[in-house]
Structure 1
Amino acid sequence: MTTDAQLVGLTDNAPPDQTPPDQAQPIAAGDTQRIASLDFIRGIAVMGILWANIVAFGQPFAAYMYPDAFTFPHSDAEDWMWVAQFVLIDGKMRGLFTLLFGAGMMLFMEKAWARGQGRGLQARRLFWLMLFGLLHYFLIWRGDILFSYAVCGLVALAFLRMEAHKQLVLGLLGYVAGAVLYGAMMAPLTLAADTPMGEEGGALEMVAPSLEEGKQIALDDGAVQTELIRGGDYGDYVAHMVGTHTADLGFFIFIWLFETLPLMLVGMALYRMGLFSGGFEPGRQRMWGWIGLLGGGAVSLLIALWVRDNGFTYYGTQAAMVGFSFLPRLPMVLGLAALLSLAAPHAAGWLGSRVSAAGRAAFTNYLGTSAVMMLVFHGWGLGLFGELGRTELYGVALLGCAAMLAWSAPWLARFRYGPLEWLWRCLTYGKLFPLRR
């Protein structure tokens, strides 16, 4: 899950720049109310992403979806925690981040066009984001989203001039197409692996052995990951990432192409239509927000209970996460965006302002969280990898969110940007900007 003008939910809010318009210059932060709304939602999203990712920080990567990949047994209570996370968190926080990515691209370009600048500035910004993502992926944590965001963002540049309603329709159609594609990909796998259809002859019977092999490869890689991280040899860990998981980057782009790019387009359209700035009638926006959130949540709960009742099988959890939950996730993401946009203007108290500050420094918080989790879990740090269950991992996530709320507001009271927001800004424009207010 940045900007002079909100990108990927990673942002800086600077005073308007007074550089003459014929020079390449930073794009000023836009309307205060719009930025407040985006920052507040971004703060919720960046903390929610930590809750989503904490299992894969502290346990083998496959444990994110598959409870039996934990290094010790998953309790009954933690099975229900899996259900709760599946319904409330998984995919929803990333979806919010992606909507904000699209909204941020649109806001950024509005300012650029107003100053006679073009898409090249945005492309350069995405290039640096791509490099940040690669460093994050190989050197810190395998669950990076920035690389995929940058690649899909470069594609999204082609749609910036499209009319808002066409962006919305194209984005929704693309997302639904992804739901059909991923559902069609995943359903046969769980049928072959988890039902009698995989034993009764025909094509599914032929597929079943290769599915068992694929599952074992993922679990074996988790065992290697556990050994490397616990061992504390950072060089061996990086070598494993480069040698074994470089090809995964292309697979991730394919997997998320029908989610990330469509949601970027939807975010662009909703920004232009005024969702984040009070452009919709509040009562109707609230009603549709709750319908989307509760309706999508109810379907997601049914899917989660199906997974639980079937014993959390490997391909059942995969199918639920990647395929079956894809479509009901959309109304939940849109519903959350609608409701949080309405809540943002009223979140002016101590907690609300801290959440917004965490959103303003979301780039630093996102990458900084990964760095801190290395310190917590790797053998050269506290060495807790594979030692904590889901319950304890949620406690770590709670402490991580508390840290985001604690540092972001005091820092931004003294400095113009978060540390990585400032670095990204300097790289984008090719010059140093003052950091202290």
Structure 2
Amino acid sequence: MTVTPTYSSPAPGSLSPLETAEDAGRHRPARRYQVLDILRGFALCGILLVNIGDIVELGWDLPAVVGQEPSAAQTALHYLVSTRFVPIFAFMFGMSMTFVADSARRRASSPGRVLARRLGVLLVIALAHSLVYPGEVLRAYAIVGLMVLVLVLLLPRRLLALLGVVATAVSYAVAGSGVLNVPGLFLLGAAAAAYGLPAYLERPDRRLLAATVVVALLTVPAVLAQVHEPGGDPRFGTAGGIAGGIMAVLYVCLVVLACSTSLRRPLAALLEPLGRTSLSCYVGASLVVAPIGVVAHWTESRDVVPLLWTALVVLLAQSLLARAWLSRFRYGPLEWMWRCLTWWRVEPLLRR
């Protein structure tokens, strides 16, 4: 890994580290941070592995069984996947709020109006998606985003980061993993973007390796505490939530470190298309697996293994389709619609 200077967020009216003057002058989208797209695709994979059971209502027609030991696959989901990926997605959503606000300033538009419209459109998409998957998370993202909008726009980045740390820590300590984590994670993500973290992740220095070691050491007692937490669902207790948050940080560190090696190309090939079309893939996956669940009668089964294989096949197919789509178009279909309504203008879709 090479040592690079820490980047700061562009001031209002200036360019992001990966945008040229020509791009800004023509209102073209800034060049993307590839590592963020890879991370977003990675988070999307974990989220589907967790959500698919709820989407297809696994075992809902079976009587409740008290004291039954979870299968090996369920145990792996509980301690390696559940509550580990949603924090990544929420944090990156907070980052996107800073990106959009900066872009609005460059376009001489009102950041508040643009972000409010963007979040309002997301709420409509989420309400439509909830008809297929009632447990979907985008409704909470849209509502919480509107709640913290003023803070993201007005607070200096240092105060934004401090408030995000406090809100996140308190939410995990009080309620474990859940929707209460979202406001703090949004604020942390917005502050991280303002401090230039996305550019740093493209070419991290040795500090990331040191941070990874520290987080890995913290993961061991956190997971042990989750394993020994008495009663309840091991995913959503206080110890389980804290373990999930710490492991989310560890996963991010490991993926970014991998992107600093020769693994970056295969990771980008698989995950970047998912990350660039994450909204379309998130909603589309529900539309695909829900009918499969009906045909397979998964409401009458508790076996998660077929679901996991189905999720992996769906994700692979989405990655291939997204890559083919992006070879001709700038954005995913839902991303393009969302972008047009955000900026209240028809954005170019076809690649030139």
Q: TM-score range by the shorter chain?
A: 0.7 to 0.9
1:111-149 CA distance string (max 9 Å, x none): 111222221011100000011111111x11112110000
Change in 2 beyond 3 A, CA 1:98/1:61: farther
**Residues 297 and 332 of structure 1 are in contact (CA less than 8 Å); yes or no, is this contact kept in structure 2?**
no
Change in 2 beyond 3 A, CA 1:418/1:31: closer
Structure-2 separation of matches of 1:357 and 1:15: 23
Structure-2 separation of matches of 1:83 and 1:297: 16
Matched position secondary structure for 1:316: coil
CA-based RMSD: 3.2
Q: Which residue number corresponds to residue 29 of structure 2?
A: 29
Q: Which residue number corresponds to residue 337 of structure 2?
A: 423
**TM-score, normalised with respect to structure 2:** 0.82
Structure showing greater Rg: 1
Q: Which residue number corresponds to residue 407 of structure 1?
A: 321
Q: Which residue number corresponds to residue 156 of structure 2?
A: 163
Q: Which residue number corresponds to residue 149 of structure 1?
A: 141
Higher helix share: 1
Query: Aligned residues, how many?
Result: 330
Shift of 1:15: 10
Q: Does 1:50 align with 2:43?
A: no
Q: Does 1:373 align with 2:289?
A: yes
Change in 2 beyond 3 A, CA 1:80/1:350: closer
Shift of 1:90: 1.1
1:246-280 CA distance string (max 9 Å, x none): xxxxxxxxx51x30010011111222223322279
Shift of 1:345: 5.1
1:141-181 CA distance string (max 9 Å, x none): 11211000001111221122322232222111112211232
Residue correspondence of structure 1 range 184-263 to structure 2 within 5 A? 256=179, 258-263=180-185
1:433 to 328, 337, 347: 347
**Residues 222 and 242 of structure 2 are in contact (CA less than 8 Å); yes or no, is this contact kept in structure 1?**
no
Structure-1 separation of matches of 2:303 and 2:117: 42
Change in 2 beyond 3 A, CA 1:294/1:92: farther
1:274-295 CA distance string (max 9 Å, x none): 3322279621212212322452
Q: Could you tell me which amino acid in structure 2 is paired with residue 420 of structure 1?
A: L
Structure-1 separation of matches of 2:206 and 2:259: 15
Task: Name whichever of 347-356 and 168-177 sits farther off.
Answer: 347-356
Q: Which residue number corresponds to residue 80 of structure 2?
A: 88
Structure-1 separation of matches of 2:72 and 2:132: 30
Matched position secondary structure for 1:130: helix
Change in 2 beyond 3 A, CA 1:81/1:283: same
1:7-56 CA distance string (max 9 Å, x none): xxxxxx999987978xxxxx643354xx2121010010111111111222
**Residues 226 and 240 of structure 2 are in contact (CA less than 8 Å); yes or no, is this contact kept in structure 1?**
yes
Q: Does 1:361 align with 2:283?
A: no
Q: Which residue number corresponds to residue 207 of structure 1?
A: none
Change in 2 beyond 3 A, CA 1:260/1:43: same
Change in 2 beyond 3 A, CA 1:30/1:286: farther
Residue correspondence of structure 1 range 318-333 to structure 2 within 5 A? 320-333=235-248
Structure-1 separation of matches of 2:211 and 2:329: 39
1:169-199 CA distance string (max 9 Å, x none): 211111221123226xx9xxxxxxxxxxxxx
1:183-228 CA distance string (max 9 Å, x none): 6xx9xxxxxxxxxxxxxxxxxxxxxxxxxxxxxxxxxxxxxxxxxx
1:39 to 18, 37, 40: 37
Q: Which residue number corresponds to residue 3 of structure 2?
A: none
Q: Which residue number corresponds to residue 286 of structure 1?
A: 209
**Residues 277 and 331 of structure 2 are in contact (CA less than 8 Å); yes or no, is this contact kept in structure 1?**
yes
**Residues 38 and 267 of structure 2 are in contact (CA less than 8 Å); yes or no, is this contact kept in structure 1?**
no
Question: Which runs of 5 or more structure 1 residues have no equivalent in the other structure?
Answer: 1-12, 22-26, 187-254
Q: Could you tell me which amino acid in structure 1 is paired with residue 291 of structure 2?
A: L
Question: Which runs of 5 or more structure 2 residues have no equivalent in the other structure?
Answer: 1-17
Structure-1 separation of matches of 2:114 and 2:240: 36
Fraction of identical pairs, as percent: 25
Structure-1 separation of matches of 2:196 and 2:25: 30
Q: Which residue number corresponds to residue 273 of structure 1?
A: 195
Q: Could you tell me which amino acid in structure 2 is paired with residue 142 of structure 1?
A: P
Change in 2 beyond 3 A, CA 1:426/1:30: closer
Shift of 1:434: 3.5
Q: Could you tell me which amino acid in structure 2 is paired with residue 417 of structure 1?
A: Y
Change in 2 beyond 3 A, CA 1:62/1:15: farther
**TM-score, normalised with respect to structure 1:** 0.67
